[in-house]
Amino acid sequence: MKIAVCSDHGGFELKTRLIPFIEELGHEVTDFGCYSDKSVDYPDYAFPMAEAVAAGGYDRGIAVCGTGIGVSICCNKVRGIRCALCGDVLSAELTRKHNDSNVLAMGGRIIGVETAKAITKVWLDTAFDGGRHEGRINKIANYEK
């Protein structure tokens, strides 16, 4: 899969640790920034990354800030994005199975690297269940129109 990633300064370190891990899993990664731990504004990176995913240029996106909250709010403002803030593996699995999330948000100051890797792997490996969940996703898409 083609994966878009972004962070602010609070998520920069975690993002830089996740990129090679995602590539080792066999995915192609594009980094939308930021590119250092110098203070920046998360919307400047989350919006372009989410827009690229929504436009179909990427299969999924991963956004990291200090808590994951700011980037998740930004990403969910973009039509067609279903961003889930996850801090545990079960939530990551269920948001793919039930919500068909296409962006994963995590908090670089909240969870450790190994937890983030486990969350990322499950989120990337889990398919959408469809079925009864499909109608719910369609309701979201129809609302956005």
Active site residues: 65, 98
The DSSP code sequence of 69-125 is HHHHHHHHTSTT--EEE-SSHHHHHHHHHHH--SEEEEETTTS-HHHHHHHHHHHHH
Which two structure tokens, joined as six digits, stand for 42?
A: 């998360």
Per-residue DSSP letter, 128: P
Residues linked to residue 64 through DSSP beta bridges, in sequence order: 7, 106
Assigned token pair, 92: 């990551």
Selection from 128, 59, 133, 126 nearest residue 100 by Cα: 128
| Angle made by CA atoms 118, 120, 125, in degrees to the nearest 5 | 95
